[in-house]
Chain A
């Protein structure tokens, strides 16, 4: 496991030189001793990691390793599960995300989320984009904002003639890109993506990956993925999670290794990571 201080020297990836500028010296999240419980069951145990600004951080690992649970902690979506309880600390720009005064609504306006299955609202494309700004009291010109956002998400040309038609008429890949566009319309700083391509075909997946690459210049992105190639393709840093099974047969997710993506895939420090990467396990 690396500490934040290892990061600045990430110059071994000349083909993506812009990554150099982004280092863990400018952290967005600092996670310390994070555990998540569902009822009495400890689903994730003692996670420590730092997430840097305007990077794509991938979380990989076998099913049930708790990576989706962890990502839902970053914008307090776990609050919505009555039995869920979070222990340990997540700081967001030095502010405790789970502090007493913190308002989860305010958190989610800064830290957006894209889900596994595309989930557009059963409304028009326009209304899907306008929804976030509307609920947070946007006073400016919505038409401009919708156009700007869709252009930003590289979707404008595909939908500009049917803004008033139902978002459900779009293809799955377009729906998912609409969901990403909808998220950036609120102008968050961070976008969380929970297996955003798992319901899509390879072509749609490639488009989403392109979009992620472009968006990472302005947004901090954390992505959970089942797909190791995807993590290798798009992410700057990768966290590998796995699940320990205790004597009662319960699974407890834990973070095994967290490093620059290239190191995780080429020189993993931990045998379990190596086994997973090389397909011997998981």
Chain B
């Protein structure tokens, strides 16, 4: 067989500039521009959110002092005379979030430890899809279940007094907690799985039990990821809308009684948004003022969570 002739499609080696581009590749440049443009959409989204929030919020604070907004205890923007104290909405949000965390943190972390340290592959293949399905159920369905099933159930089993009202923070918070379990479980499990096996083997070799390895070796080593999971869970609870709009009620109520109905920031935004308020009205502006507060609160938590996740990735990967 004869050797194929060398370089039949290109200029001879040694001729001046033979290593230069033989044909222009404009396509490559066009593609790159397209890719960068697509990446800028997500940047534009953030800018769009900020632009959407700031001007109407500024307009709002021309009518209402920031001090009144942030420390007022009465929220009735559409009544006469209107009151613009956001504390009842913040209080409602915190109450529901707290209940959700009381459910989601122990259960989510328990699930994560089980999946990461105890479950054999067969059990994992049962439980993982259950968590994925839980994460995939629309929140409007959770809200429906809280209102129509959990609240009546609580009323039935309540030992003393009247029990929860028709709309209440307890049922909404409990159901929201279950909704957040997959978020916390999967992020926490990720960080536990990232703990090097050498650490576990070392502890087992010293005669530790599985519980000791889980709680004294893996858990502390994965701590920053676990905290990140919890912070992300809080962020999701604070930002969740449909469950509270359906099951926690639409009345701003600064109260520490979880059996009462109370409106959260998100539920207020939804309720006001449904009304199709005219642009420029003070009612319309409240949507953006409360939205800005919500955005800032979740932004701080998200950035904290992202930082913590990076930290454990840097250590172990």
Cβ-defined contact, B7 with A189, below 8 A: yes
**Residue in B7, B19, B23 whose CB lies within 8 Å of A102:** B19
* Chain B positions 1 through 33: 1 when the CB is less than 8 Å from some CB of chain A, otherwise 0: 101111111100110011111110100000000
A218 to B1 alpha-carbon distance, docked (Å): 13
Cβ-defined contact, A138 with B13, below 8 A: no
**Residue in A103, A151, A189, A218 whose CB lies within 8 Å of B13:** A189
Of the 9-residue stretches A39-47, A92-100, A195-203, A262-270, which lies at the interface with chain B?
Answer: A92-100
**Residue in A92, A101, A107, A151 whose CB lies within 8 Å of B17:** A101
A216 to B207 alpha-carbon distance, docked (Å): 59
Chain B residues with CB under 8 A of A189:
6-7, 13
Identity of the chain B residue whose Cβ is nearest the Cβ of A109 in the assembled complex: B10
Identity of the chain B residue whose Cβ is nearest the Cβ of A151 in the assembled complex: B1
**Residue in A94, A95, A138 whose CB lies within 8 Å of B9:** A138
* Chain A positions 244 through 260: 1 when the CB is less than 8 Å from some CB of chain B, otherwise 0: 00000000000000000
Identity of the chain B residue whose Cβ is nearest the Cβ of A138 in the assembled complex: B9
| Chain B interface, DSSP helix/strand/loop, else mixed | loop
A152 to B2 alpha-carbon distance, docked (Å): 9
Does A106 touch B at the CB level, under 8 Å? yes
Identity of the chain B residue whose Cβ is nearest the Cβ of A190 in the assembled complex: B13
* Chain A positions 87 through 118: 1 when the CB is less than 8 Å from some CB of chain B, otherwise 0: 00000111101010111011101100000000
Cβ-defined contact, A101 with B20, below 8 A: yes
Cβ-defined contact, A148 with B4, below 8 A: yes
Say yes or no: A94-B14 contact (C-beta < 8 A), given A102-B19, A103-B19, A106-B21.
yes
Query: What's the minimum C-beta distance from B301 to chain A, rounded to whole angstroms?
Result: 31
Cβ-defined contact, B7 with A105, below 8 A: no
Does A278 touch B at the CB level, under 8 Å? no
Cβ-defined contact, B21 with A103, below 8 A: yes
Cβ-defined contact, A105 with B6, below 8 A: no
Does A187 touch B at the CB level, under 8 Å? yes
Query: What's the minimum C-beta distance from A83 to chain B, rounded to whole angstroms?
Result: 16
Say yes or no: A152-B19 contact (C-beta < 8 A), given A93-B13, A110-B13.
no
Cβ-defined contact, A93 with B14, below 8 A: yes
- Count chain B residues whose beta carbon lies closer than 8 angstroms to a beta carbon of A: 19
* Chain A positions 209 through 249: 1 when the CB is less than 8 Å from some CB of chain B, otherwise 0: 00000000110000000000000000000000000000000
Cβ-defined contact, A95 with B1, below 8 A: no
Query: What's the minimum C-beta distance from B31 to chain A, rounded to whole angstroms?
Result: 14
Chain B residues with CB under 8 A of A105:
21, 25
Within 8 A of B (CB), among A9-60: none
Cβ-defined contact, A103 with B20, below 8 A: yes
Chain A residues with CB under 8 A of B1:
148, 151-152
Chain B residues with CB under 8 A of A95:
14, 17-19
Cβ-defined contact, B6 with A187, below 8 A: yes
Chain B residues with CB under 8 A of A148:
1, 4
Identity of the chain A residue whose Cβ is nearest the Cβ of B22 in the assembled complex: A106
A97 to B20 alpha-carbon distance, docked (Å): 10
Cβ-defined contact, A106 with B19, below 8 A: yes
Chain B residues with CB under 8 A of A93:
13-14, 18
A109 to B25 alpha-carbon distance, docked (Å): 15
A269 to B3 alpha-carbon distance, docked (Å): 38
Does A136 touch B at the CB level, under 8 Å? yes
Chain A residues with CB under 8 A of B25:
105
Query: What's the minimum C-beta distance from A145 to chain B, rounded to whole angstroms?
Result: 8
Cβ-defined contact, A152 with B4, below 8 A: yes
* Chain A positions 131 through 150: 1 when the CB is less than 8 Å from some CB of chain B, otherwise 0: 00000111000000000100
Within 8 A of B (CB), among A63-97: 92-95, 97
A95 to B16 alpha-carbon distance, docked (Å): 8
Cβ-defined contact, A187 with B18, below 8 A: no
A155 to B101 alpha-carbon distance, docked (Å): 64
Cβ-defined contact, B4 with A187, below 8 A: yes
Chain A residues with CB under 8 A of B18:
93, 95, 106
Within 8 A of A (CB), among B56-79: none
6 nearest CB pairs, A to B? A103-B21, A102-B19, A93-B14, A93-B13, A218-B3, A101-B20
Contacts A/B (CB < 8 Å), 12 sampled: A101-B17, A102-B19, A102-B20, A103-B22, A105-B21, A106-B10, A106-B18, A110-B7, A137-B23, A151-B1, A187-B9, A189-B6
Interface residues of A (CB under 8 A from B): 92-95, 97, 99, 101-103, 105-107, 109-110, 136-138, 148, 151-152, 187, 189, 217-218
Q: Other CB < 8 Å A-B pairs besides A110-B19, A138-B9, A217-B3, 6 of them? A: A101-B17, A103-B21, A109-B10, A148-B1, A187-B6, A189-B6
